[in-house]
């Protein structure tokens, strides 16, 4: 009997272990599947900044609008979340009445990130998306709109908020300021763009599981442990754009880039490389200027190609990176804009991070030249 009783106790103990072993992954999976969120709504009032005298006639009123925002809250289940102080990511829908009948009303959809500071009371947000212009340029019906040459545009926002979450049952409030930029990046002329500086006030609601969850710290490893040796990269970029001359036409461009990069820590990678630009719109712009402005002294057969060197930085978020580059042309036979150029955008690595895709905006300071769609390989 003692033997049978002991065997029963062992079997019962092992049975509970088996049940625990089966249910534990399910319980953990349920915990991992929790996806706390917050919904926000804010109203804003602002002014269009006169960054270009060609849009002065379009600044006649104060733009107003609202943002409807969905935020996914992070709690450190992935390392990058704790490294960046548990940011939010999500989507924003924006409605804006531009305060001018020729500009009309714009509608935007963005993907965004929010970073927190000062005990999570100060928040910095950045968003990139696509906007639809309700009343774009038309040669017959709306030739006054020299800001938006196409119905669909690229749009970016930057904003700062003072925010207090979960004051009562997940409800909070916020005050803020920001800037909204609309431009089609010379996809089609005209493209003088607009920048709206605004002030806002709004409310937020945070889901209850987000209120009670504890944030985890997975950033114990020193950031420099993620450094890597120098690596060689090759990128091909392309797209369509048009010169500022209305009606000159849209043409493809091709950019071949080769650069070396060095990842120095978890967040940062530095770059040094060279760009080869083949922009067909310059062929037609050169011909147009030779014909329309013979006094400019543009030589026949002038080369439209450009070559530049650049220094860059990648701000890494797991397999996503924010790219910023500053370059200078050393081969620049046709003096388009100026010798310095800059590139900003997003990059996504795939698999073992050898292949990547990127969407970037190439500009000469605040003057956009093109939106580039690129694919590349990292050795």
d(CA 210, CA 90): 15
The pLDDT of 235-251, averaged and rounded, is: 94
pTM exceeds 0.75, yes or no: yes
Sequential DSSP letters for 139-152: TTTBTT--S-SSSE
Alpha-carbon distances, residue 155 vs 44, 183, 353 (angstroms): 17, 6, 28
Contacts (Cβ under 8 Å, ≥6 apart) of 247 = 189
Query: Biggest alpha carbon distance in the chain?
Result: 114
pLDDT in tens, 360-376: 999 998 889 999 999 99
Please report the pLDDT score of residue 5 as a whole number: 41
pLDDT in tens, 144-203: 999 999 999 999 999 999 999 989 888 999 999 999 999 998 899 999 999 999 999 999
* Coil/strand/helix, residue 33: helix
Q: Residue ranges of the alpha helices (H) in the chain?
A: 2-33, 79-83, 208-212, 280-292
pLDDT in tens, 84-141: 999 999 999 999 999 999 999 999 999 999 999 999 999 999 999 999 999 999 999 9
d(CA 167, CA 2): 61
* Coil/strand/helix, residue 120: coil
pLDDT in tens, 277-301: 999 999 999 999 999 988 888 888 8
Domains of the chain: 36-212 (2.40.160.20), 223-378 (2.40.160)
Q: What percent of the chain has pLDDT over 70?
A: 89
pLDDT in tens, 8-42: 343 333 433 333 343 434 343 444 546 789 999 99
Does pLDDT of 208 surpass 90?
no
């Amino acid at each position: 009997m003692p033997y049978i009783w002991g065997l029963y106790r062992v079997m019962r103990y092992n049975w509970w272990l088996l049940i625990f072993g089966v249910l534990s992954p399910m319980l953990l999976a349920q915990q991992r599947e929790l996806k706390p969120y917050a919904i926000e709504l804010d109203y804003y009032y602002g002014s269009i900044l006169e960054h270009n005298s060609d849009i002065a006639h379009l600044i006649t009123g104060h733009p107003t609008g609202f943002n409807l925002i969905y935020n996914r809250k992070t709690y450190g289940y992935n390392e990058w979340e704790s490294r960046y102080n548990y940011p939010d990511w999500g989507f924003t829908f924006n409605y804006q009445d531009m305060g001018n009948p020729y500009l009309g009303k714009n509608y935007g959809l963005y993907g965004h990130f929010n970073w927190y500071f000062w005990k999570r009371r100060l928040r910095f947000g950045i968003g990139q998306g696509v906007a639809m212009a309700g009343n774009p340029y038309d040669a017959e019906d709306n030739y006054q709109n020299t800001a938006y040459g196409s119905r669909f545009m690229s749009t970016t926002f930057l904003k700062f908020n003072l925010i207090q979450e979960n004051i009562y049952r997940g409800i909070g409030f916020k005050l803020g300021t920001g800037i909204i930029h609309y431009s089609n990046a010379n996809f089609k002329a005209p493209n003088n763009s607009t920048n709206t500086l605004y002030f806002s006030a709004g409310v937020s609601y945070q889901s209850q599981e987000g209120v009670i969850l504890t944030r985890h710290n997975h950033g114990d490893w020193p950031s420099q442990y993620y450094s890597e040796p120098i690596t060689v990269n090759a990128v091909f970029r392309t797209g369509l754009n048009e010169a500022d001359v209305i009606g000159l036409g849209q043409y493809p461009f091709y950019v071949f880039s080769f650069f070396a990069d060095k990842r120095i820590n978890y967040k940062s990678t530095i770059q040094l490389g060279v760009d080869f630009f083949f922009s067909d719109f310059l062929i037609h712009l050169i011909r147009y200027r030779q014909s329309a402005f013979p006094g400019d002294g543009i030589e026949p057969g002038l080369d439209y190609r450009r070559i530049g060197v650049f220094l860059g930085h990648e701000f890494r978020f797991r397999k996503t990176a924010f790219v910023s580059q500053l370059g200078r042309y050393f081969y620049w036979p046709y003096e388009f804009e100026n010798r310095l150029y800059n590139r900003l955008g997003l990059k996504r690595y795939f698999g073992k991070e050898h292949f990547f895709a990127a969407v970037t905006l190439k500009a000469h300071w605040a003057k956009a030249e093109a939106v580039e769609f690129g694919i590349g390989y990292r050795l």
